[in-house]
Structure 1
Amino acid sequence: MRRFLFLPTVCLALVAGALAEEPPPAAKAAPAVDYTLQPLDLLRVMVFQEPDLERQVRISQEYTINLPLIGLIDLTGKSVRQAEELIRARYDADYLKNPQITITVLEYTPRTVQVLGAVNQPGAIAFTPEQQMTIMEAIAKAGGQARVADIRKVRLTREGPDGKTEIYTINLDDLMKGSSTEKWVLQKGDVIFVPERIL
């Protein structure tokens, strides 16, 4: 009797272990369909059951790509999903019946922020669109603050959606102590300036 009870127990343990190794659905990366395409992004454009139309193309500085049969496509302001629909409509209009288009971003154009002033390695810090970089992480990547840095008066310069320049003064001492809930997630083109202490 013990023999028959033992085997199911082992089987259940193995199944439970296998299930535990499978990441939960929320942990799996979702397709970046809402990512807004940028110049120099490298794309793979695939048309279902039409391998001759598959292309790897890099978006030009004018936000365009060139595809077989349909020619130049303007992707200004388009997300991955919107680009798929635009290309599908162009092929559907004259060449294919209800084509299925899949776009994969093979390489993202680097986004950079500048970290200047009293840091050990000032300069540009690059990060990808799937990353979220905070002001603390950017300063750490710039070698950390110098001994003469005044971390209570760090300036973040950012261009707003309306094109106007916005300047924020940030107390990094509060961030490090955990007394501030603001993480200050960075955006492309941000400039961080760490001033020196006034002696």
Structure 2
Amino acid sequence: MRNLCAVLLLAVALSACAGREPLRSSSQLTVIENEATLPPPDRNDLTAGDRPSLIGPLDTIQVDVFNVPELSREMQVDASGRISMPLIGTIDARGKTAGELAEAVESALRGRYVRNPDVTVNIKSSVSQVVAIDGQVIEPGLYPVTNQMTLLRAIASAKGLAEFAKQDDVVILRTVNGRKMAGLYNIDAIRRGVYDDPAIFANDVVVVGDSPQRRLFRDFVSLAPLLAAPLIAIVQ
């Protein structure tokens, strides 16, 4: 009985650790070997590509009209995605970038109220630009999406993978042109540089799968001393 427990424990442990291969260079990855030093990044490598942030309901924005302090103010977008300003009334802000909303305010002011208006809009805080992270992470929830958000950074925002996370079963759910789509990713492969860390966008849903093998391993380790105890008593 004791030998059987040991064999089973070893089998579970080996199954949890098997499958890892050494890194090799590919079209997606250049592996630096023999303790060579990684080259420093170029300046362009340190910035992410432009990923516009869209204004949504309940976001807080700052609208500044140059030389017209009476119209400059911080405001919250209402639940329907609109803002209200003196002289021009309500403007639909939902789905616009800060620049697009500034142009809309300028157009509403031009000619009738302000000659050659110069308007700047800044998003101060956003509750609409979020990603939902669920499944086997430490702290599931909604997290703000930044211009440099990727899958690994999103998971790090949720305090990392939980004990029973299945690293090769991570799904990104996304709606593209009204069509629901899903992408399946392997966190361990991304960490090892096998392929790029995918970008995360507002309204994405990230789901980290559950590993039954990890649960089995934990349960077996916790039960092993109990299974061995009668054998030890008999031997004594």
TM-score normalised per structure 2: 0.61
Q: Distance in 2 between matches of 1:168 and 1:129?
A: 20
Alpha-carbon deviation of 1:133?
A: 2.2
SS of the equivalent of 1:168 reads strand
What is the match of residue 153 of structure 2?
Answer: 137
What is the match of residue 81 of structure 1?
Answer: 99
Q: Distance in 1 between matches of 2:151 and 2:209?
A: 11
| CA offset digits 1:148-190 (Å, max 9, x no partner) | 33212222222x22222212221222112222x2211212232
Please identify runs of 4+ aligned residues in structure 1 that moved more than 6 A.
none
| CA offset digits 1:53-92 (Å, max 9, x no partner) | 2222111122211111111111233222221121112111
Q: Percent identity?
A: 26
Please say if residues 55 and 67 of structure 1, whose CA atoms lie closer than 8 Å, have aligned partners that are also in contact.
no
| CA offset digits 1:13-64 (Å, max 9, x no partner) | xxxxxxxxxxx9x989xxx9x5322222222222222222222211112221
Q: 1:195 to 1:156 in 2, by over 3 A?
A: farther
Structure 2 runs not aligned, ≥5 long: 1-42, 217-236
Q: 1:183 to 1:52 in 2, by over 3 A?
A: same
Q: Which has the larger radius of gyration?
A: 2
- The letter for the 2-side match of 1:48 is F
Alignment partner of 1:186 is 2:204:
no
TM-score normalised per structure 1: 0.71
Please say if residues 152 and 170 of structure 1, whose CA atoms lie closer than 8 Å, have aligned partners that are also in contact.
yes
What is the match of residue 234 of structure 2?
Answer: none
Q: 1:153 to 1:44 in 2, by over 3 A?
A: closer
Please say if residues 112 and 124 of structure 1, whose CA atoms lie closer than 8 Å, have aligned partners that are also in contact.
no
- The letter for the 2-side match of 1:176 is R
Q: Distance in 2 between matches of 1:87 and 1:123?
A: 38
Alignment partner of 1:127 is 2:144:
yes
- The letter for the 2-side match of 1:47 is V
- The letter for the 1-side match of 2:159 is G
Please say if residues 118 and 196 of structure 1, whose CA atoms lie closer than 8 Å, have aligned partners that are also in contact.
no
What is the match of residue 6 of structure 1?
Answer: none
Out of 141, 157, 168, the position equivalent to 1:152 is 168
Please provide the CA RMSD for this pair.
3.0
Alpha-carbon deviation of 1:122?
A: 4.0
Q: Distance in 2 between matches of 1:95 and 1:61?
A: 28
Q: 1:150 to 1:105 in 2, by over 3 A?
A: closer
Paired residue total: 170
Structure 1 runs not aligned, ≥5 long: 1-23
- The letter for the 2-side match of 1:164 is R
What is the match of residue 197 of structure 1?
Answer: 212
SS of the equivalent of 2:111 reads helix
Alpha-carbon deviation of 1:110?
A: 5.3
What is the match of residue 125 of structure 2?
Answer: 107
Q: Distance in 2 between matches of 1:137 and 1:193?
A: 14
